[in-house]
Structure 1
Amino acid sequence: MNKTRLFQKSLLAVTIATATLASQQTLAAGFQLNSQSATGLGRAFAGDAVIADNASVMSRNAAAMALFDRTEISLGVNVIDSKVKVKDGTYTRPAGFDALAGSQSVSGTTNDATSVVPNFYVVHPINDEFAVGLGIYSNFGTTNEFDDSWGKGTGVISTITAGPTAGTTPIPGADAFGGTTNVKTTNFALNGSYRINEQWSIGGGIDVIYGEGELKRKSTNMTTLVNGGATGTNGSFTFTNVDASATTVGFNLGTVFEMDENNRFGLSYHYSPEKEVSGTVEYAGNKDIGDLKIPLPSMAEFSGYHRIKDTQFAVHYSLQWIEWSSFERLETTNGVKLKDYKWQDTFHYAIGGTYYINDEWEARAGYMYDQGVQDSLTSVSVPDSDRNWFSIGASYHISKDQTLDAGFTYLVGKDKKVSDIIQTTNGNITLDTTTKATAMLFGLQYTHKF
């Protein structure tokens, strides 16, 4: 097969896979998704903004494309098996809400998800100074889908038939805290790099980000109260119904400093704008409330790589800052607030090592500590806590032109106490519970040099 046909078939395959991307389970703070390559997965992404062992480096730092002297195509897939446990739940309506006000326990549940996240990259050096690249991958994604039976039957539809307060007031139950939360993004990056001299390189590019959001909050089997008396449990109320999508444009910048062939540093910045997603946007029975605004965080990353002289070992590390403070709330373009979040900026810290066994094999390992985003407000629909990544991986050089990489990560989050709130005209309803997230990630990456 000639090079042109190989490129065309690879691009077609990854485009189809990306277009049919499965719901992504969040694997980092907030709904950041660290799953850009299997190679990075095997070292907990330590040093990923500067190692440049295949074309996937352009997703972290465009300037690192200056380190390539041949055209490379890299495509891969990560499979994510995740679990979110929700336990020890207590649902509370303050006294004075209705005849059934008070607290009641909510049974625990485990939300499982298996997702497939593909990626595709090509880097092409034009000459000794310039290189260009194309990447298709994802930086953000989350899904958390509760079973329909969780929290069912705890809400109330209160009906008053006469007097100045006549009308029907739905008071959502515990199931309105869960429902379905699904955010998916696909990033199409067009990057370029320029080598200034033997030590310094710079790069940057345009990120075209396509995103979809789905939020479903419904309370079912609600007890109906007519003038304070219970009449049955056949009511239903849709609290939130969002199914919308949008395309927006961001950018990325980066630089690489090479002390020598064994020591280098990388610094990069990714700007992600606020998206206005259009489609179905309904809240508390209101449909004409505008489009939904979803803030995406910008990110900065510093990485280092050091191969120990006259040995087969290298150490590498990364520090990444994520601007989650921009995610204060979900609201519409008409000013309707769906929910406050007030997240905080976070960091993740990663360190790893690579052992160059021989001309055919490399082994790697890494550890990442990832800070949670939730601060004064917590949420059960986007479970979050500090997380620990434990990663291992390997490369097999099939030939001087072809490499197969594999990576595995076990991720475990800490128990997180959650006190979630739904604001109503009659006061606040609360859900107190504990969440814990764990995941196993498996990745394969194939790289071909031309």
Structure 2
Amino acid sequence: MKGLVRTTAAATVSVVALLAAGAASASSFSLRSGSSAEGLGMAYAGAASGGIGMGSMAWNPATITMFPGRHSNWNFTYIGPSASYDPTSPTRVRLPNGAVVPIGAAGGSSLGTGELGGDGAFVPASYSAWQLNDRLWIGMTTGAPYGLRSKPENQVSASQIYGRSARVGTFNVSPTIGYQVNDWLAVGAAVQVQYFKTNLKQAAGIGPTAPNTILEGDSIDFGYRFGVTLTPWQGTNIGLAYRSMIHHSLEGTFSTPVAVPPILGFGSNPIKANLNLPDSVVFGLSQVINDQWQGHLGVEWTNWSRFRRIPIVAVNSGVPFSSLNFQYDDSWYFSAGLEYRYNRDLTLRAGVAYELSAVNDENRTVFISDNDRLWLSAGLSYQVTDRIKLDLGYSYIHVQNASVNYSGNHPQQGAVLYTAEAKPHIHIVSAGLTYRWDDPSQTIPAQPVVRKY
């Protein structure tokens, strides 16, 4: 059964290209921005309280109870990052005898990375909600909560031993259930079934013809989400939710042009690695101001400190031969948004957010030009018919200058002493379609007090 799930998930990943690009659209390689066009237009303010439409289900499964009837929502997001690491000091190499020489004198290149993000990437997400009676809902969410595609324009560069390309793809399917306990309380839960795949390449030397070492692996593992929504009085919605950690047990290969007996042989070696993707807590508040205006707030904490040291174990020998050392901090995301109902069909929205990144100057890598960031967002919704709604969203993300410092104390330090800085920014555009399958004029049947079996 697991093999069938793995095959199906892998095919889905390849078809929809669940990969973001160089400058990730949220902290580290998280993909908040690919979740919802409606949410993107408001920087995801009020996500946990239902403020961003059906996309709220990705944060808080209890928000499924806010959609009477039977609905589906599809979103397609383009993420266009820009980042380039330019050296800030001459790059040097520490030779085996301890001498330090300019990289050119040792036969390497002094070039920076060039553009990291390439042509960007498309990220899909979908949501469904089916109300069974006046209290019970079931549904499903799909999406790509994590992803990265980083391929430096200059494949021969001063930093090539630290990375020539990185790809991380995920596909997440979450069956969801929600229950309206009473007029002011709803609860919800979801199971996360997540496929994770990665491919990392770095040069085996500093020369222009240096071959790559390639680490690749994949995994299917499970987690959960649960949450509540509170409506203490009409017009006010409060949401609080938790997303669990997912422990991935990757299986794959490590390909090397140099044998390291008895641990590694020349060519492809089977490997395994365990990594923890972070858990998170999210809070949201949505408040109706009057018939036309509504305000939203959000706070999200993500436990990135779980994602620290990942030993890579050679299966044949059972010995760890390397590790990916990230040593991330926890991240925080603060957002605020406003919606204006222009008329019965058209709603305009805007939002702003600030994110404290998990990545800092001590642990940043050439794969991810990440730092604290400011979000500026705008969007709109148009109710085409009683059953069809269209959403558009746009965000510009200004990322603080991101520096890398491989000069002696970096957790992934090698022989090359390399310092550089990038000035990243990101443009994101998203479109969404919501369709209601049932007749909005029909009354949802009440839950029977007594059932006959």
Q: Is the 8 A contact 1:369 1:386 kept in 2?
A: yes
Map 1:93-104; keep pairs closer than 5 Å. Answer: 93-94=93-94, 97=97, 101-102=101-102
Shift of 1:338: 2.9
> Are positions 1:380 and 2:366 aligned together?
yes
Q: Contact between 2:197 and 2:216, CA under 8 Å: does it hold in 1?
A: yes
Q: Please name the residue that 1:20 is paired with.
A: 15
Aligned to 1:170: none
Contact kept, 8 Å, 2:287 with 2:296, in 1: the verdict is yes
Q: Is the 8 A contact 1:406 1:445 kept in 2?
A: yes
State yes or no: 1:175 paired with 2:180.
no
Aligned length: 403
Residue matched to 1:433: 420
Q: Give the structure 2 partner of residue 167 of structure 1.
A: none
2:31 alignment counterpart: 33
| Structure 2 unaligned residues grouped into runs of 5+ | 1-8, 105-109, 314-318, 439-453
1:168 — aligned with what?
none
What displacement does 1:387 show? Answer: 1.0
1:365 to 2:355 alignment:
no
1-structure distance, mates of 2:277, 2:200:
17
Task: Determine helix, strand or coil for the equivalent of 2:378.
Answer: strand
1:52 Cα offset (Å): 5.2
Give the 3 Å change call, closer, same or farther, for CA 16–49 of structure 1 in structure 2. Answer: farther
Contact between 1:258 and 1:265, CA under 8 Å: does it hold in 2? yes
- Is 1:135 matched with 2:141? yes
Aligned partner letter, 1:106: L
TM-score, normalisation: structure 2:
0.82
TM-score normalized by the length of structure 1: 0.83
Counterpart contact for 1:58–1:133, Cα < 8 Å: no
The alpha-carbon deviation at position 94 of structure 1 amounts to 3.2
**Do 2:143 and 2:171's aligned partners in 1 also have CA atoms closer than 8 Å?**
yes
Structure 1 residue runs of 4 or more that deviate by more than 6 Å after TM superposition: 14-17, 421-424
Question: Does the residue aligned with 2:57 lie in a helix, a strand or coil?
Answer: helix
Shift of 1:138: 1.3
The code of the aligned residue for 1:331 comes to: P
Which residue is equivalent to 2:300?
Answer: 320
**What code does the residue aligned with 1:128 have?**
D
CA RMSD of aligned residues (A): 2.6
Q: Tell me what 1:399 maps to.
A: 385
Aligned 8 A contact 1:289 1:332 in 2: no
Structure 1 residue corresponding to 2:210, chosen from 229, 232, 236: 236
Alignment of 1:417-428 (within 5 A): 417-420=403-406, 428=415
- Cα distance in 2 for partners of 1:279, 1:219 equals 19
Equivalent-residue separation in structure 2 for 1:356 and 1:188 (angstroms): 33
Give the CA deviation at 1:282.
Answer: 4.0
3-state SS of paired residue (1:49): helix
Instruction: Measure the CA separation in 2 of the matches of 1:242 and 1:390.
Output: 36
2:337 aligned with 1:331: no
State whether structure 2 residue 276 is matched by structure 1 residue 271. Answer: no
Superposed displacement of residue 97, structure 1: 4.0
Using the alignment, how far apart are the partners of 1:288 and 1:40 within structure 2? 43
Structure with the larger strand share: 1
Instruction: Structure 1: give runs of 5+ residues left out of the alignment.
Output: 1-13, 152-172, 223-232
Distance 1:150 1:30, change over 3 A: same
Letter in structure 1 aligned against 2:50: I
